[in-house]
C-alpha cells in the first residue's frame, strides 16, 4: 500500500497531520516555508522535530553551490535520525548534483533527491545512491502533468529504473488532485506527498455520486441564500 506524506510548512497543520494515523511522513521545502512565514529555518525544523521523532521528515538545503549544499546537508542530517535531506537534482546553473548525491549517500546521509522530472535524472540518481542508506527519489509528477504530459507511464518506468537501487523509494511529488493518490497506488509507487487539502478529501473514496451531486446543489442553494441574491 502506498505511503502518504503530508507536504507543508505550517506548524499547526503539520502537528495536526501527525495525529492522523494514515500519515506516514512529512516533507517541506524553502518555498512552502517562505509562504508560511518561517524566518528561522533551523529553529522551525528543530521545533517540529521535538514532536515528530518516529516518522520520516524531509528538510531541504537552500544553497546553490555544491560545497555549501554539502555542508548544509551534513548539518541538517544531524538534527535527527528520522531526517531526510532534500537535495535538488541540479542547481540554478543547470549543473547536476549527482556527484554530491553520491558523496552524501556514501557518507550515510539519508537523502530525498528532489525536483526531478526526467527518466535520465532517475537513472543517474539510481546509480548514485546504490548501496547507500534509505532515500527517496522525488519525481514531480504534478508539474509533469502541468505541461500536458501524462506522468503515469513515466512513473511506471521510474519504478523499473529504481530496481537497481534497493534502498531507494519512488516518491510521487506535487500531486494536483485526489485522483493522483489512486493513480500512484495503482502502479505501485512507494510514496506520495500531498497537501492537507488533498489529504482531507481521501475520505470521499467510494462516495455515492448521486448523493454527492445533491450535496453540491445544496451547497450552491445555501450559498445563494446566504448571499441574499434576488432577481
On whether the CB atoms of residues 190 and 156 are closer than 8 A, the answer is no
What cell numbers appear for 122 in the block? 532517475
What cell numbers appear for 96 in the block? 547536476
CA dist 103 to 80, 99, 133, 198, Å?
Answer: 20, 6, 12, 35
Give residue-wise pLDDT tens across range 58-94.
999 999 999 999 999 999 999 999 999 999 999 999 9
pLDDT value, residue 143: 97
User: CA torsion 29→200→135→187, rounded to 10°?
Assistant: -130
pLDDT cut 90: percent of the chain above it? 97
Give residue-wise pLDDT tens across range 102-135.
999 999 999 999 999 999 999 999 999 999 999 9
Q: Which residues 6+ apart lie within 8 Å of 60 measured at CB?
A: 28, 29, 30, 85, 86, 87, 88, 112, 114
The domains found in the chain, sorted by start residue, are 3-203 (3.20.20.70)
Give residue-wise pLDDT tens across range 157-171.
999 999 999 999 999
User: CA torsion 202→20→85→164, rounded to 10°?
Assistant: -60
Give residue-wise pLDDT tens across range 163-205.
999 999 999 999 999 999 999 999 999 999 988 889 889 999 9
Amino acid at each position: 500500500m502506498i505511503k502518504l506524506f503530508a507536504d507543508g510548512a505550517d506548524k499547526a497543520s503539520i502537528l495536526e497531520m501527525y495525529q492522523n494515523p494514515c500519515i506516514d511522513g512529512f516533507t517541506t521545502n524553502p518555498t512552502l516555508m517562505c509562504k508560511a512565514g518561517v524566518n528561522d529555518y533551523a529553529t522551525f525544523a528543530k521545533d517540529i522535530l521535538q514532536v515528530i521523532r518516529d516518522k520520516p521528515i524531509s528538510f531541504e538545503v537552500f544553497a546553490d553551490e555544491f560545497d555549501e549544499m554539502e555542508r548544509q546537508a551534513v548539518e541538517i542530517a544531524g538534527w535527527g535520525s528520522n531526517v531526510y535531506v532534500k537535495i535538488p537534482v541540479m542547481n540554478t546553473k543547470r549543473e547536476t548534483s549527482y556527484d554530491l548525491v553520491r558523496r552524501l549517500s556514501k557518507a550515510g546521509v539519508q537523502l530525498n533527491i528532489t525536483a526531478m522530472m526526467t527518466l535520465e535524472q532517475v537513472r543517474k540518481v539510481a546509480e548514485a545512491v546504490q548501496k547507500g542508506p534509505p532515500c527517496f527519489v522525488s519525481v514531480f509528477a504534478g508539474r509533469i502533468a502541468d505541461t500536458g504530459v501524462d506522468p503515469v507511464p513515466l512513473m511506471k518506468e521510474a519504478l523499473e529504473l529504481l530496481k537497481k537501487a534497493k534502498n531507494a523509494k519512488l516518491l510521487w511529488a506535487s500531486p494536483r488532485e485526489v485522483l493522483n493518490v489512486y493513480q500512484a497506488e495503482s502502479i505501485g509507487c512507494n510514496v506520495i506527498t500531498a497537501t492537507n487539502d488533498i489529504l482531507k478529501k481521501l475520505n470521499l473514496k467510494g462516495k455515492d455520486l448521486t448523493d454527492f451531486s445533491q450535496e453540491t446543489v445544496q451547497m450552491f442553494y445555501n450559498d445563494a441564500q446566504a448571499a441574499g441574491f434576488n432577481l
